[in-house]
Structure 1
Amino acid sequence: MCSEEPTASGLAADPPPGLEYHPQLLTARDEAGLLARIDGADSPWLDDLSRRVQHFGFKYDYSNRRLDESARIGPLPVWLTQLARRVRMAASQEAKCVLDAQRPFEQAIVNEYEQGQGIAPHVDRGCFGPVVATVSLGSAINMDFRCDTTGAGYVQRLEPRSLLLLFGNARSMWRHGIAKRRTDIWDSQKITRDRRVSVTFRTVTMPDIEGG
């Protein structure tokens, strides 16, 4: 069961258990450097989805919703390894207890969200490990959470240079998504979206890959 109960508005008063938000993981200079790297001349952008993506470590098969050994691309590049290290350092002790200290993040995906783009509500597949970590660059955006068992909802504002960690119930029992719209309402204000880029880190858990 999801432990959060909906309020009269349908939104939970507190975030789902296991949702951890760090608003200032990066400096503006860090952010600019990462965006320059992501948008470099040799950037491996793919446009086979409604949004552009880059895959590192393993290329996720969106059609079959699975990973196997053929999906392995190779180790994460140095710049992503350095960012992943900062993510682990920022995590709370509770999150670090879930993260395997001997197991680095093996997969990263870079998503680009232009104005009006989003992603359908979902729970990350079981082929990925117990912690999902997302670093936000560029525009701020609202991420919506919904618990299927209680109907409770929650909205997390993702500011640029922030870190979102999902583990426990927030990882496995609450769907998260981004509505396809050009504006968000936050603090009773209508805010226009701009281009947002996210970097999401995950470990891989399939027995055939672990054994390989």
Structure 2
Amino acid sequence: MSSHSATTTSTIPSLEESLVQSLPKTVYYIPNFISSAEEAQLLREIVSQPKPKWTILTHRRLQTHPSALTKNNVLLAAPLPPWLESIVPRMQQLKIWDNAPHKKPNHVLINEYNPGEGIMPHEDGGAYFGCVATVSLGASIVLDLYSKHTNADSGESGEAEAGAQKSTRFPKWRILQEPRSLLITTHDMYTDHLHGIQNITVDEDLNETTVANWTLLGDKEVFSTGRYERQTRTSLTYRDVIKVSNVGKLFGGRK
């Protein structure tokens, strides 16, 4: 049984140790990236947000911080809330943002999935620097990965309405995301593949041959039966939006 204590600057594994070797470039998985206490605090902050902060979709609901992008994929300059910023320095220790325009994430998308909810295969698109860091809260879930095809479903930045129907496509790979884990997607896996979550209540056929990151899991015993009954899972997706503008500059005002 694995510990639920968070990684620290001294104990955080290297990217080389966290590489999902069976996938194209480049995916990293770190279990127990945050502690149970941090997870509980983040969930409290999320549910305490005012109702207008939530966008309700057919098969999930979401929040965007500090705000949604404009129709031109521009982010209005504003800091992330302190409770979302709190784990950013730990991510920066991995140096995954060193080549990003702002050297750190400036946007967080929060998705809440209840059992039976999901999102169709999609790509995040060109509004962001090619690195996505996702922290999972509350429960485990399987992320499906697909090769990109011209007729594939897509949703810019993952905010488009999706998941209303079960995908008829078969995933090429599957990643199991445990609560408190960090999943980092970069390079070819970011640009040349789609990702989605099936709208099912049970993830099945979970084992070392079907789950790409099986050897990196924090607690394989949870999945020893090969199946996992879903519970409510919340994801924090950290990205660096390339185009940022202050409000006055965006609308032609003076500084």
Pair in the same fold by TM > 0.5? yes
Q: Could you tell me how far apart the structure 2 residues matched to 1:41 and 1:59 are? A: 15
Any idea what SS the aligned residue of 2:87 has? helix
The answer on whether the counterparts of 2:97 and 2:105 sit within 8 Å (CA) in structure 1 is no
Q: Could you tell me how far apart the structure 1 residues matched to 2:65 and 2:124 are? A: 17
Q: Which residue of 2 aligns with 1:74?
A: 78
Q: Could you tell me how far apart the structure 1 residues matched to 2:32 and 2:133 are? A: 14
Relative to structure 2, which stretch is displaced further, 154-163 or 179-188?
179-188
The answer on whether the counterparts of 1:58 and 1:106 sit within 8 Å (CA) in structure 2 is no
The answer on whether the counterparts of 1:67 and 1:127 sit within 8 Å (CA) in structure 2 is yes
**Structure 2: which 5+ runs fail to align?**
1-19, 150-169, 208-224, 251-255
Q: Which residue of 2 aligns with 1:112?
A: 112
Alignment of 1:131-150 (within 5 A): 131-148=131-148
> Are residue 171 (structure 1) and residue 190 (structure 2) matched?
yes
Q: Could you tell me how far apart the structure 2 residues matched to 1:60 and 1:193 are? A: 31
Indicate the RMSD between aligned Cα atoms, in angstroms: 2.7
Any idea what SS the aligned residue of 1:75 has? coil
Q: Which residue of 1 aligns with 2:59?
A: 50
Any idea what SS the aligned residue of 1:109 has? strand
Q: Could you tell me how far apart the structure 1 residues matched to 2:57 and 2:177 are? A: 25
Match of 1:85 among 77, 80, 89: 89
- Calculate the TM-score normalised by the size of structure 2: 0.66
- Calculate the TM-score normalised by the size of structure 1: 0.79
Q: Could you tell me how far apart the structure 2 residues matched to 1:49 and 1:88 are? A: 34
Match of 1:26 among 34, 37, 45: 34
Following superposition, the deviation at residue 86 of structure 1 comes to: 2.0
Following superposition, the deviation at residue 46 of structure 1 comes to: 2.2
> Are residue 15 (structure 1) and residue 13 (structure 2) matched?
no
The answer on whether the counterparts of 1:98 and 1:130 sit within 8 Å (CA) in structure 2 is no
Following superposition, the deviation at residue 50 of structure 1 comes to: 3.1
Which structure would you say has the larger Rg? 2
Aligned residues: 190
Q: Could you tell me how far apart the structure 2 residues matched to 1:57 and 1:142 are? A: 27
Q: Could you tell me how far apart the structure 1 residues matched to 2:58 and 2:129 are? A: 24
Following superposition, the deviation at residue 88 of structure 1 comes to: 2.2
Give me the identity figure in percent: 28
Query: Residues 78-104 of structure 1, C-alpha deviation per residue, up to 9 Å, x if partnerless?
Result: 111112222222x3x5x355445x532
